[in-house]
């Protein structure tokens, strides 16, 4: 595998992030309406989508390394601020998601619900900012460079 053969991964990873966000929102909507089966299916799909993202991300960066934001300094500052919060919360969301899943599997729905209320906004933020970071890095910065 060469870095050139993996150029499709950032776009695919952004799609996985967007899918995760949409599925988490749909799962939240489903459980708010009492549709437990749809909630379970959406959450399982969101987990798969997030796992595929993480796999693709790790593979891409293992072969390609870091991609530097090459936009104007003011935009770069905004990019780095989003990237920092995204990265910190991405590290936090993994154990939160896993904990929520474990509580659900063990049918500890009181604890699942309590943890999920914290996990949901963080997971959404990480997924959505992942797409924003992709757009800024691969579309905005090149457009601003001309």
Q: What is the pLDDT of residues 28-87, one digit of tens each?
A: 999 999 999 999 999 999 999 999 999 999 999 999 988 999 999 999 999 999 999 999
3-145: CATH, from 3.40.50.10490, 3.40.50.620, 1.20.120.80, 1.20.1070.10: 1.20.120.80
Q: Could you state, in order of their start, the residue ranges of all structural domains in the chain?
A: 3-145
pTM over 0.85: yes
Has residue 146 got a pLDDT over 90? Answer: no
Give the number of residues written for the chain: 146
């Amino acid at each position: 595998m060469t870095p050139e053969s993996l150029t499709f991964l950032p776009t695919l990873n952004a799609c996985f992030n967007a899918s995760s966000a949409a599925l988490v929102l749909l799962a939240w909507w489903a459980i708010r309406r009492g549709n437990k089966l749809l909630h379970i299916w959406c959450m399982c799909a969101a987990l798969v989508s997030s796992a595929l993202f993480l796999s693709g991300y790790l593979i891409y960066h293992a072969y390609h390394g870091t991609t530097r934001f090459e936009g104007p300094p003011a935009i770069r500052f905004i990019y780095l601020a989003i990237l920092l919060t995204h990265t910190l919360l991405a590290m936090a969301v993994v154990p939160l998601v896993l904990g929520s899943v474990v509580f659900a599997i063990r049918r500890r729905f009181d604890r699942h619900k309590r943890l999920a209320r914290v996990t949901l906004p963080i997971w959404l933020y990480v997924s959505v900012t992942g797409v924003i970071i992709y757009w800024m890095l691969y579309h905005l910065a090149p457009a601003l460079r001309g």
